[in-house]
A and B are shown apart, each in its own frame.
Chain A
Amino acid sequence: MASKLTTSNRAGWAFALPGFGLIAMFIVVPFFFAFFLSLTNQRLISPNPTEFIGLSNYKNLLSISVLTIDPETDADGQVLIGDDGQPSYPAVRSFTRNNPDFPQYNGMREWFRWQSGDQAKVVVAKDVVFWKSLRNTLMFVLVVAPLQGAIALGLALLVNQKLRGMNIYRAIYFMPVVVSIVVVSLLFRFIYDGDDGLLNNILSALSFGLFEGRDWLGSESSALGAIMGMSIWQAVGFHMVIWLSGLQTISPTLYEASSIEGASKWQTFRYVTWPGLRNTAVLVLIVITMQAFALFAQIDVMTNGGPLDSTTTVVFQAVERGYGKQDISGGATISVILFLLVLTISLIQRYLTREK
């Protein structure tokens, strides 16, 4: 097999050349370029010469530690209780800004904290925004990948029936995919509007006025969820088509056989359809995961990463820093980390879904 690939297969290589060439030029080379840039202090535009600065970009991005804070006490050593009945703590900034006693925390900011006895454990990071963007991106992937895949499968099963006018339904479900994500994002900004958005109006009408309008994109708790919902709706048609193609490769004789055996609908799905969709499932899962990691346009159009960094993502940060703040090396560093992350996850997925 291998020898056949390397010898006497010139036509094959010739066919692969355009693809390989493009991938090398636009993916492989830029990746090594990004890796090189991430070790320098390269700016987008600057008269200053580029210097090699080692791993300091990675250090700035990834430094994280836990700061333990004792509650404030009065003169007798009694813990002071604040108005909310909780012990009160000195501000984190009193440790992290210009405090010579804690040089290891200098320039760090609070990400989140938890209570441990009387003490507060505060996770502080040099680049809180990056950590938040990492968390948001992972959240997005964890929710969108299974949900979008499942809904797409459901739709594919629905539109795989032999009914009159089925192509119309297929077209309808596929339509959002054809519309540019930027346009969809703009429209959903109006739909999610807090004052008189369509969604609020519909919910309020359905609940006979019980539902008080809420500011979907303006509140920390719902902004990412709102973007997830929109993203799933927009791309679900694409994956539906992939599922559909998978469904149509399953031989009808298998279905006939199972119905002769008296299999129920569920049994048919479990023992005929699902095993037949194995390879499709792997493809859909990996494609959705990769697309979800690349989340950018929705954020850029709808929230700019706000409110309070609740929707900022890794790619958004890479663009924002590299282009917006002209810090190409910082953006490159984020890209390299993202690449390694996606690579790891893809390898894990490959391993878990391997042929046993």
Chain B
Amino acid sequence: MKLTTTLAGALAASTCLAGMASAQTDVTMWYHGAGNDVEANILNTLIEDFNGSQGDYRVVVESFPQESYNDSVVAAALAGNLPDIIDVDGPVMPNWAWAGYMQPLTIDPSKFDAFLPGTKGMWDGKLYSIGLWDAAVSLYARQSTLDTLGLRTPTLDAPWSKVEFMGALEAAKTSGTCEYAFDVGMAWTGEWYPYAFSPFLQSFGGDIVDRSTYKTAEGALNGDAAQEFGAWWQSLFTEGYTPGTSQDPADRDTGFIDGKYCFSWNGNWAAVATLDAGVDDVVFLPSPDFGNGSVIGAGSWQFGVSASSDNAEGANAFIEFATQDKYLAAFSDGIGLIPATPTAAALTTNYAEGGPLNVYFGLSEGQALVRPVSPAYVVQAKVFEKALADIANGADVADTLDAAVDEINADIEKNSGYGH
């Protein structure tokens, strides 16, 4: 008897709760940052602020670990279970948009005029996703290393040339101060390869795919510039400047801090940890210019709306709400990413004028080039990654690049041009 009463009470209470909540429509959202408490806290504050700011929509978030996030979305899409708001990695967005899993944002694009170009996800002339932050890569070095080796400090306006850069590596190697002169992070397999290394190729004058048509990689990935890049890339490993594909992941994370590596090619997200670890004289140098200007990658995680969403209006409202400067600044302060606007940068401790990471804002603004904006990119990234790993392991450069081109072209053909 008592049990029945309790149950009835519980039922009544839950009905009341549900009744209260139903005043706002639930807008579901998926996020890639599970396991990161700081990130989750900022996101939850943002969502609470939004839910409290209006009475129509209530955003409910579900977080996934980054490694399995893309797989989860694709699986959910196949099962027809996508949330309203999806968080999407910039270069992957065209693939999902092309496959019909996303719809363009309905927010006025002029709102994002001040945003860094890498934060805007454009496909087919429409804005599909917008990022609250961007990421950038730079050459980590210690000022003391530069001084002992007698090297000029490169700047945004006058980066190292290829000759200067290779001279620096040789000097670092012969000085014997570190185990390896230049760590590029071969342990970080996956998206890191195209994100971090294709800018080198672009600086040589090549590219992953011919961006004028997006229908072939012939000439871009196996032309003279690409061959030159391949030969240079291989020389990093044959000359012993760089640890190869079997690099210990732990060394990748702490090798520069421990002084194992003189130079390290790393993202801004590692900068705070490096400073905190006591490397006071770390300098973040721009990418060397291999003949076609200094280039770094761009495009990080962004927010978009799924095509099947019944609450597209609410989803757009949330995204617009989230792109306020104070939230850009909050994410930047919390997890060290580059805020998308100069006004937000001014609010942060690291990226404000004179802040320790301010240099990255300049890098993102001045040198960033997004990865090929194409649904085929998902495949191209894999092909590129394998080609670079093979070349690093001593495969013939011309053969490897030709094979990569063949595979990319066959894939584009198989997919009837991917809608380009």
- Chain A residues near B399 (CB-CB < 8 A): 91-93, 109-110
A320 touches B248 (CB 8 A): no
Known: A304-B189, A325-B411. A47 touches B248 (CB 8 A): no
- Chain A residues near B402 (CB-CB < 8 A): 93, 97
By size class, the interface of chain A is 35 or more
- Chain A residues near B390 (CB-CB < 8 A): 306-309
- Bound complex: CA A325 to CA B386 (Å): 12
**Chain A binder among B95-103, B143-151, B324-332, B360-368:** B95-103
Interface class of chain A by DSSP: loop
By size class, the interface of chain B is 35 or more
- Bound complex: CA A47 to CA B379 (Å): 16
B382 touches A320 (CB 8 A): yes
Known: A48-B415, A190-B250, A220-B393. A215 touches B378 (CB 8 A): no
In the complex, what residue of chain A is closest to B392 when comparing beta carbons?
A307
A45 touches B393 (CB 8 A): no
A307 touches B382 (CB 8 A): no
Known: A107-B406, A307-B389, A308-B390. A47 touches B246 (CB 8 A): no
- Chain A residues near B415 (CB-CB < 8 A): 43, 46, 48
- Bound complex: CA A41 to CA B99 (Å): 15
Tell yes or no: A118 within 8 A of B by CB: no
A195 touches B416 (CB 8 A): no
- Bound complex: CA A306 to CA B387 (Å): 11
What per-residue 1/0 map shows which CB atoms of A214-253 lie under 8 Å from chain B? 0111101000000000000000000000000000000000
- Chain B residues near A307 (CB-CB < 8 A): 244-246, 389-390, 393
A218 touches B78 (CB 8 A): no
Tell yes or no: B35 within 8 A of A by CB: no
- Chain A residues near B386 (CB-CB < 8 A): 305
A218 touches B74 (CB 8 A): no
Interface class of chain B by DSSP: helix
A45 touches B101 (CB 8 A): yes
In the complex, what residue of chain B is closest to A127 when comparing beta carbons?
B407
- Of residues 222 through 279 on chain B, the ones whose CB sits less than 8 Å from some CB of chain A are 243-246, 248-251
- Chain B residues near A209 (CB-CB < 8 A): none
Tell yes or no: A193 within 8 A of B by CB: yes
Closest Cβ of chain B to A248, distance in Å, is 43
Known: A45-B99, A306-B245. A325 touches B382 (CB 8 A): yes
- Bound complex: CA A197 to CA B419 (Å): 49
Tell yes or no: A71 within 8 A of B by CB: no
- Chain B residues near A215 (CB-CB < 8 A): 244, 246
In the complex, what residue of chain B is closest to A217 when comparing beta carbons?
B246
Closest Cβ of chain A to B73, distance in Å, is 10
10 smallest CB-CB distances across A and B, nearest first, come from A218-B246, A307-B393, A45-B99, A217-B246, A193-B248, A325-B379, A308-B393, A47-B100, A306-B389, A215-B246
New A-B pairs, 16, CB < 8 Å, besides A93-B398, A325-B378: A44-B74, A45-B78, A46-B99, A91-B398, A107-B406, A190-B250, A193-B246, A193-B248, A215-B244, A218-B393, A304-B389, A306-B389, A307-B245, A309-B390, A326-B378, A327-B411
28 A-B pairs in the complex with CB atoms less than 8 angstroms apart: A41-B414, A44-B74, A45-B95, A45-B99, A45-B101, A47-B419, A48-B415, A91-B398, A91-B399, A107-B410, A109-B399, A109-B403, A190-B250, A193-B248, A195-B251, A197-B248, A215-B244, A304-B189, A306-B245, A306-B390, A307-B244, A307-B245, A307-B393, A308-B394, A323-B71, A326-B378, A327-B411, A327-B414
Q: Contact residues of B with A, CB < 8 Å? A: 71, 74, 77-78, 95-96, 98-101, 179, 189, 243-246, 248-251, 378-379, 382, 386, 389-390, 393-395, 398-399, 402-403, 406, 410-411, 414-416, 419
